[in-house]
Amino acid sequence: MSAGARERILSFPLVAREDRLRVSVAGALRRKSAEGTDEHLLARVQEGDLDAVAALFDRYARLVLGIGTRILRDPGEAEDLVQEFFLRLCQKAHTFDPAKGSARTWMIQVAYRQAVARRSYLMKRSFYSGTDLNAVENAMQGELDIEEHVATQLTGGQLLESLNMLNEKQQATLRLFFFEGCELREIAERLGESFDNVRHYYYRGLDRLRKTAIELGVQMR
């Protein structure tokens, strides 16, 4: 990996502020045509081109940070998850199967699995004992259970097919949530809807995806 590429990844905590991330995302979009598709970049990672990891970092750091923040409930742990995810991407890239979905969906699923595993590790070591544990446990056992299982146990193709079964508002909300890393308030602004409406679309859409998972034979705990 070139010095610049490694520096971009290892220095993430220094650039984790929202304004810096937006600059990185905008720059990544401008460079996308030159660097190729996500699938092309993953293929380069499989071949040992670690500069491609840095390019994917520019595109997906914000999304992975959002996943980590929701699941781990700790800013420092979420930032660590971002670093670990991209530093380990080269070890997992060979497991990507384009026949099962897009590279974007695959990376989202990997990020969720990694975040859930880290959360389990932290809970076993009483990491959350100094917080409002009841609030943390309620969040973990409620909406996150549905969210993480939808993201990690449905294949990319199944997820997209299931999304297409939702109504327009639910579909737009969950696409922005899962595939763009937007929080509900940001989605409300984008859709020109109230926060309460978007929250309704989110929960109803998640519930429908959960039922679809059951219909497809995906085990939900």
Domain shared by 117 and 147, yes or no: no
Q: Which two tokens stand for residue 16?
A: 């984790």
Q: Is the pLDDT of residue 117 over 70?
A: yes
- The pTM for the full model equals 0.69
**Residue written as token pair 């100094």:** 130
Domain shared by 108 and 153, yes or no: no
Percent of the chain at pLDDT above 90?
Answer: 25
Q: Residue 221 has what pLDDT?
A: 45
Q: Residue 81 has what pLDDT?
A: 94
Domain presence at residue 28:
yes
Domain presence at residue 175:
yes
Backbone angles phi, psi at 74, to 5 degrees: -155, 120
Domain shared by 20 and 64, yes or no: yes
Least confident of 86-95, 140-149, 152-161: 140-149
170 alpha-carbon distance from chain centroid: 18
CATH number at residue 91: 1.10.1740.10
Q: Residue 125 has what pLDDT?
A: 75
Q: Residue 17 has what pLDDT?
A: 45
Where b means 16+ CB within 10 Å and e means fewer, 90-111 reads bebbeebeeeebbbbbbbbbbb
Domain presence at residue 61:
yes
pLDDT digits (tens, 9 = 90+) for 12-61: 543 444 444 444 444 544 454 446 899 999 999 988 888 888 899 999 99
Least confident of 64-73, 114-123, 132-141, 158-167: 132-141
Domain presence at residue 133:
no
**Residue written as token pair 């998972």:** 213
Higher pLDDT, 109 or 5: 109
Q: Are 45 and 111 in contact (CB under 8 A)?
A: no
Q: Residue 181 has what pLDDT?
A: 75
Domain shared by 215 and 153, yes or no: yes
Percent of the chain at pLDDT above 70?
Answer: 69
pLDDT digits (tens, 9 = 90+) for 146-198: 677 676 666 666 777 788 889 999 999 988 888 777 888 999 999 999 999 99
The boundaries of the domain holding residue 209 are: 142-221
Vertex 214 angle, CA 211 and 215, to 5°: 90
Q: How many domains does the chain have?
A: 2
| Domain end marker among 106, 128, 150 | 128
Mean pLDDT for the stretch of residues 99-112: 86
Domain shared by 92 and 118, yes or no: yes
Q: Which long-range contacts (CB under 8 A, 24 or more apart) does 2-10 make?
A: 2/51, 2/54, 4/54, 5/50, 5/51, 5/53, 5/54, 6/54, 8/54, 8/57, 8/58, 9/53, 9/54, 9/57, 9/83, 9/86, 9/87, 10/83
Domain shared by 182 and 105, yes or no: no
Q: Helices (DSSP H) in the chain: which residue ranges?
A: 3-10, 18-35, 38-46, 51-72, 75-92, 103-124, 133-141, 143-153, 156-163, 168-180, 184-191, 195-215
Domain shared by 104 and 80, yes or no: yes
CATH number at residue 199: 1.10.10.10
pLDDT digits (tens, 9 = 90+) for 58-76: 999 989 998 888 888 888 9
Cα–Cα distance for residue pair 123/144, rounded to 1 Å: 15
